Amino acid sequence: MMLTNADIAELTDWRRDLHRFPEVSGEEAQTAARVTAALTGTQPDQVITGLGGHGVAAVWNGAVPGETVLFRAELDALPIDEVGQPAWRSTFPGKGHMCGHDGHMTILMALARLISRHRPAKGRVILLFQPAEETGAGAAAVLADPRFGAIKPDWAFALHNMPGLPFGHATLRAGTMMCASQGMRVQLIGKTSHASMPETGISPVLAIARLIPALLALGPGGPLIETFRMVTITHAKIGEPAFGISPGYGELWVKLRTRDDAPMAALRAEAEALVQAEAALHGLHTTFLTQDDFAATVNDAEAITRLTAALDALNIPNDHRNLPLRGSEDFGRFGMNGTRMAMLFLGSGEKHPQLHNPDFDFPDALIPLGARLFQRVMTDILG
């Protein structure tokens, strides 16, 4: 069963409509409503809404019992102002689908059309439209939702478009695919004073100035081997923009990154100890908050075998170039509860704007290719 030219035209229009109305993590209510409405014509046996926030899961049952196969796409956009000028550019200032999640959703919607015309022979297939991937909170929230336990998959698959790869070329590997990362938000609390009498206050300025290079030294990066560690300072704040006040408050936003999950705790402990020692030296109080917490994405070997077999059957070129990647993806959490999980990257073109660039736009020609790949994986497992 193939997508028709009419399908592809309608799905392309739908993708571009999603692109016009991006919603960031945790705010995807209207995107979820668009997904739910579009699923109606594909006649799923069950549609679960509000899953782990604004998530939507559509379920189709086969004729007899069997395994459960899940395919996932993301609902959320990014807080990035689009500078590209397509006719379907974002209508929401400061928000844009600069990662291609609109295209990933459309691939699943294309798959939904194919499933409606040829249901699995056995088991069941689930299409999950997941919220809040960009913050790392969405997968954990979906997994914690009791309704997800009732449809727990045996297999879970996802793809992500990847600029820099030749168009339609896949890259994948068993084992670690993407790194673990964690956002550590450091608050340094002192006491304000008049700018002419800084000695009467407690300023975080010197502490922050010393902490930035010290924290960066904890994670210098390098090859993605087992001992890989990277620390990135993503934001700093010291006081308020006023010339008459010596600041009494500061913040550092620090992204900690390790190749695998296990070393993260040690890196976090070292970073916190460094901050606490510096704060004590300057008489500052500290608090630590955790945000954007991503587990490593570790592909199951059997699931990779399934993906590779489907790629080869469809004559889609594939290898394991450039893997693993330093970036993070919250899809990895789906493999932490016994599900055989794998994701791959599908090339958007060697000269395509990079992910999170303000001129990025998903290449629509990937829609039928991604849908055909997932259909083959589903059919190989469920018939």
Q: Which of 234, 262, 294 is the last residue of a domain?
A: 294
- Residue found under tokens 């790629």: 311
Q: What is the dihedral of CA 57, 35, 30, 131, to 10 degrees?
A: 40
The one-character DSSP state at 353 is P
Encode pLDDT of 60-113 as tens digits. 999 999 999 999 999 999 999 999 999 999 999 999 999 999 999 999 999 999
Encode pLDDT of 263-316 as tens digits. 999 999 999 999 999 999 999 999 999 999 999 999 999 999 999 999 999 999
Instruction: Report the alpha-carbon distance of residue 65 to residue 298 in Å, rounded.
Output: 28
Residues 71 and 217 in one domain: no
Helix 205-218 vs helix 264-281: crossing angle, to nearest 10: 160
Mean pLDDT (the chain, rounded): 97
Give the global pTM.
Answer: 0.94
Instruction: Report the alpha-carbon distance of residue 130 to residue 57 in Å, rounded.
Output: 8
| Straight-line distance from the first to the last Cα atom of the chain, in angstroms, rounded to the nearest whole number | 13
Length of the chain: 383
What confidence score (pLDDT) does residue 215 get? 98
Residues 169 and 304 in one domain: yes
Q: Is residue 215 a contact partner of residue 233, using CB atoms and an 8 Å limit?
A: yes
CATH at residue 243: 3.30.70.360
Residues 217 and 136 in one domain: no
Residues 284 and 315 in one domain: no
Q: Is residue 308 a contact partner of residue 344, using CB atoms and an 8 Å limit?
A: no
Residues 80 and 191 in one domain: no
Residues 342 and 359 in one domain: yes
Q: Where are the alpha helices (DSSP H) in the chain?
A: 5-20, 29-39, 101-117, 138-144, 146-149, 205-218, 264-281, 301-313, 366-382
- Reference 32, options 122, 101, 92; nearest CA is 101
Residues 71 and 216 in one domain: no
Instruction: Report the alpha-carbon distance of residue 320 to residue 81 in Å, rounded.
Output: 33
Instruction: Report the alpha-carbon distance of residue 114 to residue 153 in Å, rounded.
Output: 20
Half-sphere exposure of 164 (CA within 13 A, CB side): 10
Is the backbone of residue 349 left (phi > 0), alpha (psi -120 to 50) or beta?
Answer: left
**Domain range for residue 227?**
180-294
User: Which phi and psi (to 5°) does residue 137 adopt?
Assistant: -95, -20
Q: What six digits make up the tokens of 126?
A: 């689930």
Residues 306 and 269 in one domain: no
CATH at residue 36: 3.40.630.10
User: Which phi and psi (to 5°) does residue 283 adopt?
Assistant: 75, 30
Reduce the DSSP state of residue 89 to 3 states and report it: coil
Residues 303 and 270 in one domain: no
Instruction: Report the alpha-carbon distance of residue 362 to residue 14 in Å, rounded.
Output: 13
What confidence score (pLDDT) does residue 325 get? 96
Instruction: Report the alpha-carbon distance of residue 212 to residue 92 in Å, rounded.
Output: 34
Residues 256 and 268 in one domain: yes
Instruction: Report the alpha-carbon distance of residue 128 to residue 68 in Å, rounded.
Output: 12
Q: Considering Cα of 187, then 193, then 195, then 197, what sign does the dihedral take?
A: negative
* pLDDT bracket for residue 30 (50, 70, 90): very high
Residues 19 and 29 in one domain: yes
Q: Which of 294, 315, 347 is the last residue of a domain?
A: 294
Structural domain count of the chain: 2
Instruction: Report the alpha-carbon distance of residue 193 to residue 43 in Å, rounded.
Output: 66
Instruction: Report the alpha-carbon distance of residue 26 to residue 105 in Å, rounded.
Output: 16
Residues 302 and 275 in one domain: no
Encode pLDDT of 212-231 as tens digits. 999 999 999 999 999 999 99
Q: Is residue 136 a contact partner of residue 115, using CB atoms and an 8 Å limit?
A: no
Give rounded-to-5 percent helix, strand, coil for the chain. 35, 30, 35
Q: What six digits make up the tokens of 285?
A: 């109080």
* pLDDT bracket for residue 337 (50, 70, 90): confident
Encode pLDDT of 102-129 as tens digits. 999 999 999 999 999 999 999 999 999 9
Q: Which of 294, 313, 331 is the last residue of a domain?
A: 294
Instruction: Report the alpha-carbon distance of residue 194 to residue 200 in Å, rounded.
Output: 8
